[in-house]
């Protein structure tokens, strides 16, 4: 019976983590990596791995912040406004004088910019907000 309890706890914890995940940012990698042999959850994150996972508008997950990236703050800050609509077509490739800033949440973007998914770049970047 003890094995069934461990599996049940593991399923409940996993479902809770997925349910509580933010719309575009979640730290599910740390939770999964923190599971030990007994099925309990440890704190911390994976060394040399992914600190935060983001989702595309299609719901696919990808690593948007590595553990090696500098940590700005422990809490995320959601800025006012919304992200611009996601482009359905990509413009011709250009060389940027200033490369777009890759981000994992709004706190990584300067000023009023928000962290928004860019289909063409296939990751979140800092973009001017819209209301």
Q: Is the pLDDT of residue 102 over 50?
A: yes
pLDDT digits (tens, 9 = 90+) for 7-29: 444 444 343 333 333 333 444 44
Q: How confident is the model at residue 92 (pLDDT cuts 50, 70, 90)?
A: confident
Specify whether 116 is located in the same domain as 93: yes
Q: What are the backbone dihedrals phi and psi of residue 130, each rounded to the nearest 5 degrees, phi first?
A: -125, 160
Distances (CA, A) of 99 to 10, 93, 95, 126: 42, 12, 8, 11
Q: How confident is the model at residue 75 (pLDDT cuts 50, 70, 90)?
A: low
Specify whether 78 is located in the same domain as 67: no
Mean pLDDT for the chain overall: 70
Specify whether 67 is located in the same domain as 114: no
Specify whether 89 is located in the same domain as 32: no
Specify whether 91 is located in the same domain as 65: no
- What span, in angstroms and rounded, lies between the C-alpha atoms of 46 and 72? 18
In the beta sheet, which residues pair with residue 115? 126
Contact status, residue 79 vs residue 19, Cβ threshold 8 Å: no
More confident site: 101 or 74: 101
Query: Which range among 3-12, 37-46, 93-102, 112-121 shows the weakest confidence by mean pLDDT?
Result: 37-46
What average pLDDT does this structure show over 99-119? 92
More confident site: 31 or 57: 57
- DSSP character at residue 50: E
Residue with tokens 């709004």: 106
Which range marks the domain in which residue 53 is found?
A: 1-71
* β-pairing verdict for 50-55 and 61-66: antiparallel
Number of domains in the chain: 2
For the chain, how far is it from start to end, CA to CA, in angstroms?
A: 54
Specify whether 101 is located in the same domain as 37: no
- What span, in angstroms and rounded, lies between the C-alpha atoms of 121 and 11? 34
- What span, in angstroms and rounded, lies between the C-alpha atoms of 103 and 117? 9
């Amino acid at each position: 019976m003890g094995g069934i309890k461990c599996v049940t706890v593991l399923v409940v914890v996993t479902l809770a983590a997925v349910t509580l995940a933010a719309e575009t940012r979640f730290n599910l990698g740390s939770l999964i990596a923190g599971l030990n042999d007994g099925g309990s959850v440890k704190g911390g994150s994976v060394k040399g791995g992914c600190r935060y996972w983001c989702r595309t508008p299609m719901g696919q997950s990808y690593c948007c912040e590595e553990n090696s990236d500098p940590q700005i703050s422990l809490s995320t800050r959601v800025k006012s406004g919304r992200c611009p609509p996601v482009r359905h077509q990509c413009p011709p490739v250009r060389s940027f004088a200033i490369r777009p800033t890759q981000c994992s949440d709004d706190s990584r973007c300067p000023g009023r910019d928000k962290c928004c998914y860019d289909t063409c770049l296939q990751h979140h970047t800092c973009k001017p907000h819209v209301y």
